[in-house]
Amino acid sequence: MSDSVRQFNVGYDDEGIRLDRWFKRHLPETSFTTVAKWARTGQLRIDGARATPGDRLVAGQTLRVPPAEAIKDTPDAPAKPKRERPPLSDDQTAFVRDMVIHQDFQAFVLNKPPGLATQGGTKTHEHVDGLLDALQYDNEGRPKLVHRLDKDTSGALLVARTSRSAAFFAKAFSGRNARKVYWALIVDVPSIDDGMIELPIAKQPGTGGEKMHVDEENGQAARTRYRVIERAGNRTAWVELQPFTGRTHQLRVHMAAIGHPIVGDGKYGGAAAFLTGGISRKMHLHARRIKVDHPDGGTIDVTADLPTHFAESLKQLGFEQAAGDALTLDEKTPPTREQIKTRAKAHAKSVRRERKGERRGRGTRD
């Protein structure tokens, strides 16, 4: 039976969740009692180390899970009836199908509207995941989310149509090979037009995990590049944001941390996040573009139109959307500070060697 042990890679979408919650999402037939028993007996492991049901997962980790047959051998694991999802109404079906901006045999890309959650949770009953039955069509399996957008963030959301493509995309996101470009309006104007924010992020104590903050000691590494597209005096700037890690609320936390909260983001910017003069109080953060390799070869590269409130704010401020799309997407992730230092040291060492060789050469001349 040990030859049938299963291994799973933790995807970007599961970053930060508890291990027992991972089982509910991906192996719902496995009861909590079974998971706890596997943990007690050392059969459940994360990157080779013994795991507990309460361990928090990190994208890219490998889970070692006992074989499916082991569930049947567990006497205290009663079979759970499969929970049926209620059928979707015609309006719900039309609603989610209208979101589709790209479709092929392996994937959909949706343009998620602001105000709609990606997944369900406490007191959250309307969400994208609950509407995906409408996109199953003749496929055997139900479409699967491979990443998330915050409820009030709009824009491009990738959905896998098959189990194979879901695994492929999950690996792309956990390996940071998927590229995402966001547009945002921010308060005030940064002094640097093109910058990299490298500030670790952790859950803020006392908020029940509902809010994140910068934590230099215990936070997880997080990197965001921003580029100023246009500015309206010193009042506000329109920026492009590229996350190179996938922490919860990363863009919102990073921009607030450098003193430029996203317009409409009262959670992280407080009262200062709202502009006067008729600018909408809704969040101005939009996933404008997603680019990722396709499991069948080639690339998915899709741009999502702005929601009405964001487009009207740009127009009111005198900004042209073409200016944002004119920025080129770098094909490679900018190096970290440590990588820059390492390369600089290697270069300096190489130069010293060359100079030393030149001096030796001059000394041996006739």
Catalytic annotation, residues: 150
| Rounded distance between C-alpha atoms, residue 103 and residue 98, angstroms | 12
| Rounded distance between C-alpha atoms, residue 325 and residue 73, angstroms | 57
Which residues, other chains included, contact 318 with Cβ-Cβ below 8 Å and sequence gap of 6+?
Answer: 232
State both tokens at 307: 């929601």
CB-based contact 343:234 (threshold 8 Å): no
State both tokens at 32: 């909590």
| Residue from 315, 252, 249, 305 nearest 280 by CA | 315
240 three-class SS:
strand
**Helices and strands (DSSP H and E) totals, the chain:** 10, 16
| Residue from 251, 248, 147, 257 nearest 202 by CA | 248
| Rounded distance between C-alpha atoms, residue 223 and residue 231, angstroms | 23
154-160 vs 285-293, strand pairing mode: parallel
